[in-house]
Chain A
């Protein structure tokens, strides 16, 4: 069991890094903006659909990623507009977009529930000069790590700008945003746009790595990302020196390690979502138990 776990460790790490990008998006909505955004289950496959369809149409891998980000930001924009302008509850706004995106994703793939990229297709991980110069068994890991570190630094920087301060204030105390003469609704929309851009990017990266898009790949994306964020935040609860982005990356990797461990222990990949749900429940419940202990002390 341990050997099979160790054997799959590199691919577990690859998965963890790719899903860390998804977790960055959920970090913005859940941890910073305090907005339960279910758009994610639709915008994650949206990124995959856009990227896969465009690569099949002959686009370069980076252009395909850029297009996926734009598509994701638009999804976030619509969720934001539905919530802020039409005053629909946060949860419903996300569910509406998620549902609509299922059909939109099928439209993008021309009605195909499955899109496969051929082995010779150029992706960020294959058939490009950078990937070719890296050792075959490490190139996905290295390229994914480069992307995650780059995004982490960008996000760290953003959260320290005036715009970043305002975003944090909106999640912390809306009254302060209003007192600063800003429309809190607009700040929320900006947060949703950024978050879903990241989520779609994550979906696109995953599809380029797997060379496959599947229309239901978004099911559970929200829970998975949320679990990663919560694991990371809980793990470093007492350590304020560690940046939130670092916590989230560690959380995403740890999450994938836990799932891999469960599968190595004999659970079938079919049980993946069950493991996800159980793990998420365990994290939330352990948080509750800790709080109770504290209350008694």
Chain B
């Protein structure tokens, strides 16, 4: 279980550009929950993910993962329990390395980075099998550089890499936003399968209200560092696009968008 307790975050404190984002925000996410977060620009969605992953520090407050305080834990140490998929598909893979090398790299996540061969040949059939499940033909181009792939293919590869090493937490940072509608569908279905299959706890920030409605079992709408809507279980199932849109319009008009 993830608990965010009473966090405070202000950007550029003491300057004219001072921007108070979180002023005592709290959120808890049960293990195995798939939480979607929507909200207008500047509502604090991405900052929340950055705080959660340790990319930026909080001014005050606590973050607990299964009761363990990780507020000051470094980003790379947190990634031993969580994987993050970014909006930019280039962030999750190494462009100059081949698909096979990228897979091997991810497979070594919990191994010692010593002088043993980078690619364990015995694992290649597994890589191919995992990639063939994507249905994108990546298993037939193992020696192609990741940089030569399309955005959707690269995002699918990044997600498969995240799946190779055991993790508990999946953090999705508008991970379909840069893809074309078809690729976005494919990646979203892949995400859903992955979360269910591995019983992951997932937090997804998205601008796609339909994805937020269709997937996951809890929906949060953020506005100015606050949750203006938090619906889980049956309450979430009962949510309709009209409800979301009208609420979304309300908060958007309020801040002049």
Task: Point out residues on A near B: beta carbons under 8 Å.
Answer: 158, 160-166, 168-169, 172-173, 175-184
**Cross-chain contact A178 with B104 (CB below 8 angstroms):** no
Given A160-B118, A161-B115, A163-B115, check contact A169 B94 (CB 8 Å). Answer: yes
Residues of B within 8 A of A175 (CB): 86, 91-92
Minimal beta-carbon separation of A204 from chain B (angstroms): 25
Determine whether the beta carbon of A165 is less than 8 Å from that of B101: yes
Write out the residue numbers on chain A whose beta carbons fall within 8 Å of the beta carbon of B72: none
Instruction: Determine the chain A residues whose CB is within 8 A of the CB of B110 once the complex forms.
Output: 181
B77, B105, B162: the one within 8 Å of A166 (CB): B105
Contacts of A168 in B (CB 8 A): 94, 96-97
A158:B115 contact, CB within 8 angstroms: yes
Report the Cα distance A175→B255, complex, angstroms.
34
The distance in angstroms between the C-alpha atoms of A296 and B35, with both chains bound, is 47
Are A162 and B91 closer than 8 Å at their CB atoms?
Answer: no
Residues of B contacting A: mostly? loop
Cα–Cα, bound, A175→B86 (Å) = 10
Residues of B at the A interface (CB closer than 8 Å) are 74-77, 79-80, 83-84, 86, 90-97, 101, 104-106, 108-119, 162
Smallest CB–CB gap between B118 and chain A, Å?
4
Contact: A182 with B117, CB < 8 Å?
A: no
A207 CB to closest chain B CB (Å) equals 30
Looking at B104, B117, B162, the one whose CB has the most chain A CB atoms below 10 A away is B117
Given A161-B116, A169-B105, A181 contacting B76 (CB threshold 8 A): yes
Q: Is the CB of B79 within 8 A of A181?
A: yes
Which residue of the partner chain B has the closest CB to A181? Answer: B80
Closest to B74 in A: A183
What is the distance, in angstroms, from B151's C-beta to the closest C-beta of chain A? Answer: 15
Given A180-B109, A181-B77: A162 and B90 within 8 A (CB)?
Answer: no
Q: How far is the CB of B111 from chain A (nearest CB, A)?
A: 7
Give, as a whole number of angstroms, the nearest-CB distance from B104 to chain A. Answer: 7
Report the minimum CB–CB distance from A94 to chain B (whole Å). Answer: 23
Kindly list 17 other residue pairs between chains A and B, CB separation below 8 angstroms, not including A161-B115, A181-B76.
A162-B111, A162-B113, A162-B115, A163-B114, A165-B101, A165-B113, A166-B113, A168-B97, A173-B90, A178-B75, A179-B84, A179-B162, A180-B79, A180-B106, A181-B77, A181-B110, A182-B113
Closest to A184 in B: B76
- 3 tightest A-B contacts by CB? A165-B118, A172-B94, A181-B80
Residue of A nearest to B84 (CB): A179
- What are 20 of the A-B contact pairs (CB < 8 Å)? A158-B115, A160-B117, A160-B118, A161-B114, A162-B114, A162-B117, A163-B115, A164-B118, A165-B118, A168-B94, A172-B97, A173-B93, A173-B95, A176-B105, A178-B75, A178-B79, A179-B79, A180-B109, A181-B76, A181-B109
Q: How far is the CA of A165 from the CA of B117 in the complex (A)?
A: 9
Residue of B108, B110, B111, B112 with most chain A CB atoms under a 10 A cut-off: B108
Return chain B residues, CB-CB under 8 Å to A180.
76, 79, 105-106, 108-109
| C-alpha spacing A193/B50, complex, angstroms | 32
Q: B105 and A165: CB pair below 8 A? A: yes
The answer to whether A161 and B118 touch (CB under 8 A), given A180-B79, A181-B77, A181-B79, is yes
The residue on B at minimum CB distance from A32 is: B96
Question: Which B residues are CB-close (under 8 A) to A169?
Answer: 94, 97, 105
Bound together, the chains give a CA A183 to CA B75 distance in angstroms of 9
**Nearest Cβ on chain B to A274's Cβ, whole angstroms:** 34
- Please tell me which one of the listed residues A160, A165, A173, A183 contacts residue B91 in the complex, with CB atoms under 8 A apart: A173
Q: How far is the CA of A176 from the CA of B113 in the complex (A)?
A: 14
A135 to chain B: closest CB distance in Å? Answer: 37
A9 CB to nearest B CB, Å: 35
Is A165 within 8 A of B95, CB to CB?
A: no
Kindly report which residue of chain B lies nearest to residue A175, judged by CB atoms: B91
* Residue of A whose beta carbon sits closest to that of B94: A172
Q: How far is the CB of B109 from chain A (nearest CB, A)?
A: 5
Q: Which residues of A contact B90 (CB under 8 A)?
A: 173
Residues of B within 8 A of A176 (CB): 92-94, 105
B141 to chain A, nearest CB (A): 14
Distance between A252 CB and nearest chain B CB, rounded to angstroms:
22
